[in-house]
Amino acid sequence: MAKKTLVSGVKPTGRIHIGNYFGAMRQFVALQDSYHAMIFIADYHALTTERNPKTLREQTIAIAMDYLAIGLNPEKTLLFKQSDVPEVVELAWIFNCITTMPYLSRAHAYKDALAKDKEVNVGLFDYPMLMAADILIQDADAVPVGQDQKQHVEITRDTAEKFNRIYGDMFTLPEHLILSETETVPGIDGKKMSKSYGNIIPLFASDDEIEQSVMSIVTDSKGVGEPKNTEGDTLFSYHRLFSTGELPEIERRYREGGIGYKESKEMLIKNMRAFIAPLRERREDIAKDTARVTAILEKGGERARERARKKMSFIRERVGLS
Ligand code: AMP
Ligand code: TRP
């Protein structure tokens, strides 16, 4: 049977963190054998917030390096830059013309920006249409993401259905793939880990950064002997990710009492360092050969664009543009 297609991307807007990795990116690696995988760097989407061209360029190549460092294999996964497939912008325009303002006004990202009194540019408002185009232009069956992107995949399905209803069958309805245990990884302050909240632990953190981050994890004031909560506890939730071998023992000591937060943090620092060091070293090696990384993106971009062009020619025909 032909492999199903998987599409996902990450915005180049800051350092990748453990929320990105455990929520979304580790799925990219785990699924690259069983799917026809297409993973991109969402640089058009980053333009909704990033106005510095040098920063955007640097962060774009940085994400490509991150992808390689976590184990994406360019022989198996098509790695590319979103803007190397400009057809998505054309498709997003077509979607704009069949989507209403009230419908898009219900998107969380837009509502959050309004609630925070942020300036909302048209690109931010229209963000879900471009994302729908990224997914639908490649006929994706599956979209691995974290919980915060679930609504965007639902909007994508709605948009595909609406197009199919108006113009006849054209698009596959994609499914989101969300890992329930890590759908929302908390930040060191207990809120959702996010590049924009200043509460992240970088995936490629140095040993010092790991120590500083873990030491700033917010805990309650229970003493060593007191029983402690495992559910809803940020520190413990990181043990679930990094202390797998010792987890039953740590969990028992939390429940019964007999472990203090200081000791718990020290264990976490040790385990996190052991997990991150090899990733960081691989990342450092990859960064030595920027030309190779650029070449991988170029080649991936050509192949992704080729597929998108073919799909776009059917779409143009269907709506009456050709
Ligand atoms: P972004 O950095 O917004 O481009 O996000 C890239 C991917 O990481 C998306 O699939 C997000 O859903 C996922 N993600 C971001 N933050 C978290 C988090 N705190 N927990 C789980 N997944 C996340
Ligand atoms: N909106 C996604 C994020 O912020 C990035 C993204 C853009 C994406 N287009 C996509 C993810 C298509 C999956 C599929 O994380």
Q: How many CB atoms lie within 10 A of CB 56?
A: 17
> Which amino acid type is present at position 204?
F
The DSSP output letter for 192 is B
pLDDT tens figures, 29-46: 999 999 999 999 999 999
Mean pLDDT of 73-92: 98
> Which of 287-316 are b and which e, b meaning 16 or more Cβ less than 10 Å from the residue's Cβ?
eeeeeebeebbeebbeebbebbeebbeebe
CA of 167 to the centre of ligand 2 (A): 26
DSSP, collapsed to helix, strand or coil, labels residue 159 as helix
Q: Is 178 in the pocket of ligand 2 (CB under 6 A)?
A: no
Residues in the chain: 322
DSSP, collapsed to helix, strand or coil, labels residue 26 as helix
89, two tokens: 């912008």
CA of 237 to the centre of ligand 2 (A): 25
Residue 82 pLDDT > 80: yes
Q: Whose CA is nearest to atom 14 of ligand 1?
A: 20
Q: How many CB atoms lie within 10 A of CB 86?
A: 11
So what's the pLDDT on residue 1? Answer: 77
In the chain, pLDDT over 70 holds for what percent of residues? 100
pLDDT tens figures, 265-282: 999 999 999 999 999 999
Report the C-alpha gap between 38 and 16 in whole angstroms: 19
CA of 144 to the centre of ligand 2 (A): 9
**Domains detected in the chain:** 4-184+290-319 (3.40.50.620), 204-283 (1.10.240.10)
pTM (2 d.p.): 0.97
Q: Is 311 in the pocket of ligand 2 (CB under 6 A)?
A: no
> Which amino acid type is present at position 163?
F
